[in-house]
Every structure is written in structure tokens, then in C-alpha cells.
Structure 1
Amino acid sequence: MLLRIVSILFPLFSLTALGYFVGKRMRPDLSHANKLNMDVFVPALVFAALANKEFRIADFGALGVATLIVVVGSGLVGWLLARQAGVAPKTFVPPMMFNNCGNLGLPLSVLAFGDAALAPAVVMFMVSNLLHFSFGAWLLDHRIKLWTVWKVPSVLATLLGLAVGIAGVQVWPPLMLAIKMLGDIAIPLMLFALGVRLTDSRISSIGLGLYSAVARPVAGMLLALGVLLVFDLPPQQQALMLVFGALPPAVLNYIFAERYHQEPEAVASMVLIGNVAAVLFLPIALAMVLP
């Protein structure tokens, strides 16, 4: 079991570590690559997964609702912990609420459970992503117009993919292959860029970082276990839900905190220490779900 967990996690952490090493030594500017990933490659990955003729939205309705409950529940737990610790909720809640289900979650799902896990993992990613770009942004700036969230490329790709899948439209195979090839760029670039991005993080609040590094996966896994008592999900989706709960804070939390001037250094500490702590918590989650 230990060897199997290491073989699953090694590609993830090795690519991230490579990105961190390259970021430290070469200081590459990945701003354009990251923009391409978020605006082209990730939307292609999402569209290809949802527009697939084997994708049936009815099979993932309960999973979407369960994911929503875990995300919102994590935010409520984060708010309670922030009040108890005397930390600004706007600083603490987003990293608790929005995990790294893109950079780590998508590749981890495929490596651990096979290609068939990509579609449900994308559903979970899009539920979290939609909330992050709408409620998450509004939480930091109440002037945000929530209705503009459809303009986010990955959200638009979700809507188009669902429309094509529900309508039963068969995308021309060569075109679908081209879209899948674009989507295949997204995951390794996500991991590499995550490592590079972490080199920009500064640990200014070690105590807060350690506090959230434990609270985020523990609360997430407990909420996932509670949800699984209510929702009768297929075994693979149950496993994905528990792993989803164990994921560390998303790097996007730091980007949002910087954009909206919400203690970015403190959030950076939470993101950096949380992602390092994933080395401990993800093996625990995998050990609980792998047969």
C-alpha cells in the first residue's frame, strides 16, 4: 500500500518540486503561460471531459451537490475558527473554503483512479471554481458583479461542454482530438507552475500557516465523511470526495488576496505551508480509500 501511494504521489510532487527548483534558479516569468493555461488549456480539458459522449450529467448530480456542501461547510468551519483565533475571516475563510482541486486534484484523481475519474474530478473542480470566481471574489470585494462569472473561460467551457453533452451532439472526432491534446497540456503545466508560484510565497505568519495547514484537510475530510453518510455515491466518487476534502489551499487564494489587498503575505503563508503539509495528509486520504 505504501509503495502504491508513493507511486501515485511521486509524479505530482516531483513536477511541483522541479517547478520550485527552476523557479528558484532561473526566475522564469510564467505569467503568460499561466494565462494561457487558465484561458485555453484548462477550458479545453474541461470541455473535452464534459462533451464526451460517455459523460452523463445525471450521473454526477449528487456529486455536485455533495461537493457544494463540503466547500460551503469548509467555509463555515473557517469562519468559526477565524473568530476563535482572532483572525480576519476574509483572510482565513477563502483558503479553508477553496482547495487545490485544479493543480493537485485533477492529476491526483487520474493517477490514483484512472482516466475514468477525470469526468467526476472535473465536476468537483468546476463546482469549486464557479464558487471561487463568484462568491470567493465577492467575499473580498462586495462590489463584484456575480453575473459576470460566465465570462471566466473555464466556466464558459463548462456551460458549452454540458450543452453539447446533454444535447447528445457528436463533436467531429479530429476536432475533439485537437481539443483533448490542448487539455493534456493543462495538468503538467499546472503542477510545474504551482512549484514556480510557490517560490514567490513568503512565510510571514508561520503560526497561522501551520494552523490552517492542519485545519483545512482535517475539516475537509470530516465534512466529506459526513456527506458520504447522506449521499449514496458510487465507490469511485466516494473515494474522490474524501481525497477532495484532504486537498491543501489553492494558489488562487493568494492571487485573489493580492488583487484585493487582503493580507496577501498571511494568505501566502497559508498556501505555502498547506501545500507542503499535503505530503502528510494526501497519503492518509489515499490509504483510507485505496482498495
Structure 2
Amino acid sequence: MSGVLNTVDQRTNLVGENRLELLLFSLNSSQIFAINVFKVKEVLKVPPLTKLPGANHNITGVATLRGEAVPVIDLRAAIGFPPSKMENQEQNLIVTEYNRSVQGFLVGSVRNIVNTAWNEIQPPPKTTGRSNYLTAITQIKENDLNRIVEIIDVEKVLAEIIDYDVTISDGVLDERLIAQMQGRKVLVVDDSSTARNQVRDTLSQLGLEIIMCSDGLEALQLLKKWSSEGLNVAKELLMMITDAEMPEMDGYKLTNEVRNDPNLQDLYMTLNTSLSGSFNEAMVKKVGCDRFISKFQPDLLVEVCQTRLRDIL
């Protein structure tokens, strides 16, 4: 199993090229699910778990991995299937890092890694409703047949287990800027409805008007439409806040496209992503973003908006 991810550190060069690699797995059903390899730390057989009294019902227990206590989430139960049964079924643990926290997901069999492009990743059909646990779907060829792969909205799963508070801490809000914030527009681009709502609920407290798009291509088309209508987009928007990983077009490609459009290139852009670390700092410089924020940090979102407003006043 350790061999599945033995070259994961070499895969980061795919990010920024509108490509990604997906780790495919099952939840002991016929369906194929996936998450982005870049967020996976390791895959291993399920170690001994310690039960925690009073924990969320989707937390199976805590695993001790190299001295670190890692909560283990039964992913099957968390997305609405009957809970996993440990006996007589293959069980594996996918250890991930999202939003500056480490957690393990209890899954069934772990299949393989596939290399694909973001433009081959599609949003889930609108007829699936708003309560589904998917950010996107794609297809793979298997035995000469096309199989649907369902990409899990991990941020939605985590938000239902961890209470993400959008309260702004005392002392963060600059009272002198409140009047200037009223009605200014921020474009929020994220494929996770949970993540979009977190940003909206945070920044709407400042009186900002939040416009939301669910992927980079939708956002780029909207920006170009505004530009074609004669709007000065950089003045119309206080900023754009974009996720990195999205179907159709990722946030890095979106940023690059904006910077290469003479009518859009002055737009202030902030990358807001669950991918952490110095790698993203480097990517921000490479593609031309102005700021980078690791999700989910309400105070920092507010600070970025306030700093931008001070710069233009």
C-alpha cells in the first residue's frame, strides 16, 4: 500500500498546469470515489483505533501515527451510506491534510492513481440537489467501459463534523473602514458550496456584496463578459478570492488567464485554498496572485479585504 503514493512529492508540478491526479477508492460499494492526491499524506491499513466518548458519530476513533493523534472519519457514513463494518470487508485509511488539519478517512479498497486534466472534471449534475457530497465527477475507462468517478467534497464532510465559526475576533475589524466597505463587491470562486458559503458568511458581516462562481471557467467567462460590457473590472471588484482546485479550470490557470488579459490584469486576486504550505506561496508568485490564504481563517479573510481597501483609498 505504501507504494501507491511513493512518488507523491514529485506530482506537485502538475498543479498550475490545469492538471491533477486522483486517488481512486471504494466505500465497499460498486461506486468509485476519488480525492486529489495532493492532499493525501499516506495510505495504510487501518491501525488500532481508540474510541472517544462523546465524539461525532462519524468519528470511528483516533489513530496514533508516529506520535500524532489523528481522528479517523468513517467516510462511508459521513456521506450518507450505512456505517462501515470492519469484519469481512477490506478497510484502509487515507490520511489527508485539509484546512491546516490532519485527519484520516476510513475507506474500502484503494484502487490506483489516475492522471487527468481539470477540463475533464465536470460539476455534478444539478439534478443531484444541493445536499450531495460531491464537488465534481469524471470518467475513467475500465474493461472498455466508461465508469463514473465521484470526487468527494471533503470540505463539506469536515464542516459537518468540525464547527467552522465565521465570527470575527475582537480587534480585527477596523471600525474606520466599515462605511467604505458597504456595497463593495468581492468575487468568490470555489467548487465547494460549503467553502463558498463560509467566505460569504464571513465577509458579508463587513457589508461587502458577495458574487459567487463554482469554478474557474465560470468566473473567467463572467469577468470577460463584464469587460466586454465596458466595466473596469479591477475597479468594479474589491478583489477576487479563488480556490486552487476546481473543475473545468483550476485557480492557478484562472489567475494566469486574468493576468494575461489586458482588460483584467489589474484585478486583485487572493488564493484561498485548503492546500497548505510553502508550495502554494511559490505558486502564488508563479501565476501572479497577490495573496495566499490557507482555509478556513475568517480573521485573515477580513484582514486581506481591509488591507486591500486601505491600498486603494
- Same fold, TM exceeding 0.5? no
Structure number with higher relative contact order (C-alpha < 8 Å, ≥ 6 residues apart):
1
TM tier relative to shorter chain: under 0.3
Structure (1/2) with the larger strand percentage: 2
Structure possessing the higher radius of gyration over alpha carbons: 2
**Alignment TM-score, normalising by the size of structure 1:** 0.23
**Alignment TM-score, normalising by the size of structure 2:** 0.22
Structure (1/2) with the larger helix percentage: 1
